[in-house]
Structure 1
Amino acid sequence: MIETVIFDMDGILVDSEPFWRKAKVNAVAKFGGNITEQHAYQSTGLRIDEIANYWIRYCDLDPACSQDLADAILDEVIGQIKTQGQLLPGVKESLESLAQADLKIGLASSSPLRLIEAVMDTFDLRKYFSVYVSAEHQTYGKPHPQVYLYAAEQLKTEPHHCLAIEDSVNGLIAAKAARMTAICVPEPGQETNPRFGIADIKLASLAEFSTSEEVQKILGA
């Protein structure tokens, strides 16, 4: 029985993945590298320090720039969310339906806490979440399950009683490795990626969440 639903944030709650891709391209260029937005998909779902180090290795940049590169990416993403960000379709409706069903709601994100709190405040989402945790200070980020296991512990729920909602392959691997039921909502352009086949359910968007018979069956509705 599902007792708790744990959301990823980027690409699930807020349409931030395009901001991440642009920020990676722009920040890497500032430090002498050259990547495209298509390349930027390769680090989707990773922690900010891992993203910086990934592109440092890829572009053979000076490892000493790791923190500055991470800060440049994060600053641009936060700025874009505050000025142009939008909640994705179905987010408020899904959160409202889960709250009415008396299910616990959490968030487990690879993004730094600074970005999580910016999203919570910008879109007035704090009231829905009992717990929100970042992999920022965990030993391992996604695709390791640590952040999901920590969120479940904070929510006082056994992992196999949790439903995770993810948009990235790395996040989906993390959720399944934590022994959680998992829904994937692939970012546009990634729907045909066969690696999403490990999800229990695949939705086109959260707008389908409250009407999907498969989802309602899992939730025991």
Structure 2
Amino acid sequence: MIKAIIFDMDGVIVDSEPFWRQAKVNAVARFGGNITLQQTYQSTGLRIDEIAQHWIRHCGLDPACQQALCDTILDEVIEQIKHNGKLLPGVLESLQWLATTELKVGLASSSPSRLIAAVLDIFDLNQYISIKVSAEHLLLGKPHPQVYLEAANQLGIAAQQCLAIEDSVNGLLAAKAARMVGVCVPEPGQENNPSFGIADYKFTSLEEFISPTISKLLRIKLPA
């Protein structure tokens, strides 16, 4: 029986993945590297320090620039969300629906706490989410399940009784490794990635989450 819903943030709650891709391209170029927007998908869903390490290795950059590269990426993403960010379709409605039930709701993200706090404040979502876990404070980031296991622990719910909502393959791998029910909402253009085949449910947007199928799974009523 599912007792908790755990949301990823980037690409699930807020349409931030395009900002992350452009920020990676810009930041890597600033430090002497060159990557394409298509290549940036390689690091989608990773923790920001792992993103920086990935592109430092790929481009042969000075390892000493890692923290500066992280800060440059993060600063641009936050600014873009502040000025151009939008909640993804179905997010607010899904959160409002879950708020009428006894289910617990949490967030487990690879993003730094600073970005999580900014997003939840900008869109006034703190009222819907009881715990927020950032992989920045953990030993291992996605695709390792540690961030999801920590979220389940903070919620006081067994991981097997949690449903996780993800948009990236790395995130979905983490959720499934934690033995959670995995819902994937792939970013447009990534729907046909065969790696999403491990998901228990696959939707084109969270507008499809409020459905008889999920209502039955969660044992809750559909909104009137």
- Bin of the TM-score, shorter chain as denominator length: over 0.9
Q: Which residue of 1 aligns with 2:51?
A: 51
Question: 1: distance between equivalents of 2:169 and 2:11?
Answer: 12
| TM-score (normalised: structure 2) | 0.97
Question: Any idea what SS the aligned residue of 1:98 has?
Answer: helix
Q: Which amino acid aligns with 1:86?
A: K
Question: 2: distance between equivalents of 1:60 and 1:214?
Answer: 48
Question: Any idea what SS the aligned residue of 1:153 has?
Answer: helix
CA drift of 1:137 comes to 1.1
CA drift of 1:214 comes to 2.5
Question: 1: distance between equivalents of 2:181 and 2:216?
Answer: 12
Q: After the TM superposition, which residues 1-221 of structure 1 pair with which residues of structure 2 at under 5 Å, given as runs?
A: 1-211=1-211, 213-221=212-220
CA drift of 1:217 comes to 2.4
CA drift of 1:167 comes to 0.2
The answer for unaligned runs of 5 or more in structure 2 is none
Question: 2: distance between equivalents of 1:2 and 1:117?
Answer: 27
Q: Is the CA contact (8 Å cut-off) linking 1:152 and 1:159 kept in structure 2?
A: yes
Question: Any idea what SS the aligned residue of 1:9 has?
Answer: coil
Cα deviation code 1:79-117 (max 9, x no counterpart): 000010000000010001111122100000000000000
Q: Which runs of 4+ in 1 moved over 6 A?
A: none
CA drift of 1:60 comes to 0.6
Cα deviation code 1:139-178 (max 9, x no counterpart): 0000000000000000000001000000000000000000
Question: 2: distance between equivalents of 1:217 and 1:63?
Answer: 50
Question: Any idea what SS the aligned residue of 2:133 has?
Answer: strand
Question: Any idea what SS the aligned residue of 2:93 has?
Answer: helix
Question: 1: distance between equivalents of 2:218 and 2:182?
Answer: 12
User: How many corresponding residue pairs?
Assistant: 220
Question: 1: distance between equivalents of 2:217 and 2:174?
Answer: 19
CA drift of 1:46 comes to 0.1
Q: Is the CA contact (8 Å cut-off) linking 1:201 and 1:214 kept in structure 2?
A: no
Q: Give RMSD over aligned pairs.
A: 0.6
The answer for unaligned runs of 5 or more in structure 1 is none
| TM-score (normalised: structure 1) | 0.98
Q: Is the CA contact (8 Å cut-off) linking 1:201 and 1:215 kept in structure 2?
A: no
